[in-house]
Structure 1
């Protein structure tokens, strides 16, 4: 998970483009005690991300976490040895993520660029923050990261994505991997001076019951639920008139920074959201799958300063990755962000921009639009997308081991 999450329409994962983040469990190791059906979902009201937004803290993180000076590699098991990842491992790691994804989320793509983004995240030290399990034939069968997010405004977050090849689950690899991630994560946290909530964080699909059970045993709670929504573009799109106080533009380079500023304002009251840094934003808009020509902005002068320069007040940003198309079975786009500055809410800007974006997706020859949303979004996002014709397809949870 990126350091600025959510990558929202109010989400904690990047939906269709996400790398397999869970599946750290081993089927045989975790099936015992796993519930036959998902437990009832209990979630709280959306919390503000300004100041302390997830839990509370009264001491620096380093005073709450004790970790060893050295993090040992997992013990070899079932012919598998462990070592850090390098950027030369992108191709075999991508193949492993694709095998995991074919089981864990078969209707999402498995882009090489997403794997590269994981391994080149700001502040990551692959020698110390990554691990890969390699079998006797040199095939990658397990991998993981334990990466301290560089943006720490409302939460000190260590991302722990990873997983085990479906063909090698039940051999103890996942348990050893998660133990390594926890210890390395605690080592990170023990260096942090912030008086903030802190945790190890990743995501898991709702129907991955064994994986969810493994996280629970490791002290993780299912802290937030996210819903993937899809919009069939063959169905009619109802236009929503644009507020005359704003004008509609397509995103260009001149609006990149203004859109980042709008994003940070719009998502200050979303659970778990951290401000997006210029570096992280540049990586997102510079990705080969990001489509400026399919990303729409509403711009206007500030309400409290009509003489000032125009600013972005609402936005819908699109990503198109053909690698997703085979997995989903249709030509699709992913909506990375839908947001409105807080001072401009209540003017139906999101509805208007979203309808125009869907029309642009149709004109591009796409057949379905996908996005993820916080199941208890404080802005009423689920109602917005329901009115726009989106339907729920699947759910996932953010799991957190809190400190």
Structure 2
């Protein structure tokens, strides 16, 4: 998930808010969460709530594995390691070389201090991790901890050492932050990755929010939804990139764990080779409170197509990166209309499946939206947080 994704909060509050239930979960499109969704509270600066080590050493060598920081020269073997991990932990979702590169070049990351890789005696990568402070700190202070251990080398203590290193480096990051905000170490884990979930629990993480992956067979009929006559439907173009970012930030400001997306981060997303402007649709209109003003983007459905996902899923697919509607324009069925048009564009492109992720806890009625659009639940993942 990107830097505006699930976060953390005061441990008890956030854990209760995100706990899964035995009933059928409600789901919500990104950017359509209910008012008042929050990630916790804080009454002191983050740095006063964290005790950080003065120095963070590489993990202890074990089972012939030594540790060092990553460099951009490591992209190919790191990508191969991610593929081996993914084949077990999320077998129907690929992880492209470009995504791995994006991880290592995120804004503000210092690979010499924020990354680690475990190398065996044959020079093969067997474990890796990042501990990276997000530069956007509006509603929370978030240190992203991503990584994993080669399935062939699990059970040897590598994962525990990796998590210990990530915690120590993450606490160093948090100890520099003056914001009076919730704070924590944050990552995502697949529901079926039981060993990983257990390791996070032992390391002090709580499963605070659940996300459902939905899929739509594009061979099934698509029901059109009439577009509100107050808006125009357009395909995303370069001159609408910034307007779409502004719409995204408005749409997502009441979404759980969301923070504004910066121009830099947005530019990295739309410049990616997998992002498809031609399959991304926007609704544009003049502001409701200022009919004489220029048009703005009021709703959007953005698409990403990564052929590396196709082999894992078994069919050509598109990922619906974002669905959002500006707050002032909700209740006009714009998301439904744009989504139907987007699915038709996917079909015309020769794609066979559409995939998207939704919040499994926010009760806004979006389950009906996706059910009517033909999406079905495929798998779940959790945001896990070690809160401070």
- The alignment's TM-score, normalised by the length of structure 2, stands at 0.93
Partner of 1:370: 355
- Give me the CA root mean square deviation: 1.8
Q: Distance in 1 between the 2:34 and 2:165 partners?
A: 31
| Aligned residues of 2:281 and 2:301 also touching (Cα < 8 A) | yes
C-alpha separation in 2, matches of 1:356 and 1:377: 25
* Residue in structure 2 matching 1:278, options 254, 263, 281: 263
Count of residue pairs brought into register by the alignment: 371
Aligned pairs for 1:126-165 within 5 A: 126-165=111-150
Shift of 1:387: 1.1
Pair 1:214 & 2:214 matched: no
Q: Aligned partners of 1:263, 1:283: CA distance in 2, in Å?
A: 15
Q: How many Å separate the matches in 2 of 1:374 and 1:267?
A: 12
- Shift of residue 380 of structure 1? 2.9
Residue 180 (structure 2) aligns with: 195
**Structure 2: stretches of 5+ with no match in the other structure:** 8-18, 28-32
Match runs of 1:49-128 below 5 Å: 53-128=38-113
Q: C-alpha separation between the residues in 1 aligned to 2:268 and 2:214?
A: 25
User: Residues 39, 212 of structure 1: CA spacing in aligned structure 2 closer, same or farther, 3 A cutoff?
Assistant: farther
Q: Which among 270, 275, 296 is matched to residue 281 of structure 2?
A: 296
Structure 1 115/103 Cα, relative in aligned 2: closer, same or farther at 3 Å? same
> SS in structure 1 opposite 2:370?
helix
Residue 329 (1) aligns with residue 314 (2): yes
Q: Name the CA distance, whole Å, in 1 between partners of 2:34 and 2:46.
A: 21
**What corresponds to 1:358 in structure 2?**
343
Q: Does 1:253 align with 2:242?
A: no
Q: In 1, distance between residues paired with 2:373 and 2:154?
A: 41
Structure 2 SS opposite 1:282: helix
TM-superposed deviation, 1:44: 11
Relative distance call for 1:75 and 1:47 in structure 2 (3 A) is farther
Pick one of 221, 230, 233 that aligns with 2:218. Answer: 233
Match of 1:179 among 140, 164, 170: 164
User: Any idea what SS the aligned residue of 2:138 has?
Assistant: coil
Indicate conservation of the 8 Å contact 2:282/2:299, yes or no.
Answer: yes
State the distance in 1 between where 2:323 and 2:195 align. Answer: 33
Q: 2:208 aligns with which of 214, 223, 236?
A: 223
Secondary structure of the 1:371 match is strand
Would the aligned equivalents of 1:4 and 1:277 in 2 still touch at CA under 8 Å?
A: no
Go from structure 1 to structure 2 and tell me whether the alpha carbon gap of 1:39 and 1:2 turns closer, same or farther (over 3 Å shift): closer
Q: For residues 303 and 47 of structure 1, what CA distance do their matches in structure 2 show? A: 21
Note the residue ranges of structure 1 that are not aligned, 5 or more in a row: 7-11, 13-37
Q: What is the CA deviation profile of residues 311-369 of structure 1, one whole-angstrom value per residue up to 9, with x for unaligned ones?
A: 00000000001111111000000000000000000000000000000000000000000
- Provide the secondary structure at the position in 1 that maps to 2:319: strand
Displacement, 1:48?
A: 5.6
Deviation at 1:184, TM superposition (A): 0.4
C-alpha distance in structure 2 between counterparts of 1:134 and 1:221, whole Å: 29
Q: Which runs of 4+ in 1 moved over 6 A?
A: 41-47
Taking the aligned partners of 2:43 and 2:239, their CA distance within structure 1 comes to 42
> What SS does the corresponding residue of 1:161 show, helix, strand or coil?
strand
How many Å apart are 1:210 and its aligned residue? 1.5
- Decide whether the 8 Å contact of 1:269 with 1:378 is kept in 2: no
Counterpart residue number, 2:251: 266
